[in-house]
Structure 1
Amino acid sequence: MRAFDFSPLYRSTVGFDQLQSLLDSVTRDASQPTYPPYNIERLGESDYRITMAVAGFAEKDLSIEVKQNVLTISGKRTEPEAANYLYQGIAGRSFERRFQLADHVEVKGAHLENGLLHVDLVRQIPEQMKPRQIEISAVAPTQKTIEGNLAAAE
């Protein structure tokens, strides 16, 4: 039941070549990791923020990388060698989260505050890609005229 046929969608779309691979990757990977939890929020018309709960991780333990419209956030916490836990309930395991970014979405910055990693994103559409009004010009239909002797013959 994991295979869906998205071919009817392709009849009404133009230029969405990666849509099929995105939909396939979403439906194929049902066992996505849930650690660490995160939120994606819209701050404005073109501003977004990913907030990830990374309690126990310092700035030096976290890595943020953008490559070919994929944002990768990873964390690897270094444990002190002398740590001898009687009980360890705080999750400090390594993680890697990937986010597929839409075209023209760029990472503006990131900051760590109170155990939350905030990654700010902005969507900047180039001028040539923005919608524009196209003027419609009406062309007068050509009229047939009868000239000379043909008009007199009728």
Structure 2
Amino acid sequence: MKTTINILISALLLYGCGQKSENGSDTTASENKPKIEDYDPQRGQGKFDKVELPAKLDDAMAKNGKSVFDLKCSSCHKLTDEKLVGPGWKGVTTRRKPEWIMNFITNPDAMIDKDPELQSQLEICLVRMPNQSLSDDDARHILEFMRQNDGVK
């Protein structure tokens, strides 16, 4: 009797993990995940397609970005190239496009799952960047603070 119940429970669990595709056939959840080929390594994944940056630094935005950094980022990131928990921020705005930075700040989970470079970084840092639930404005202010940190005046 116990064996029959165990088989029944196992069958229900396996059945529950599948989903119906558009054509009605059973698929697993992993088959429905977006493909890595769909990922754009230049902009990342998120709502920011194009971020226009002025040539001159916006000091007020950078000041707000520093406040956000102090509150949400400084426990894991240094402003140098030295790793703390996460990588240091020095030079990030010269290595990454603004769209990528803002998409990563606001959408880290999806990007870590798809970006091969972020996955390599995860192997070094051993800790996923948590989603800090930052607003678009916070993300833009952090980007401006990163630019200031990289010497934009």
TM range (shorter): under 0.3
1 or 2 for the larger relative contact order (CA 8 Å, sep ≥6)? 2
Which structure is higher in strand share? 1
The structure with more helix, counted as a fraction of residues: 2
TM-score (structure 1 length as normaliser):
0.22
Structure label with greater radius of gyration: 1
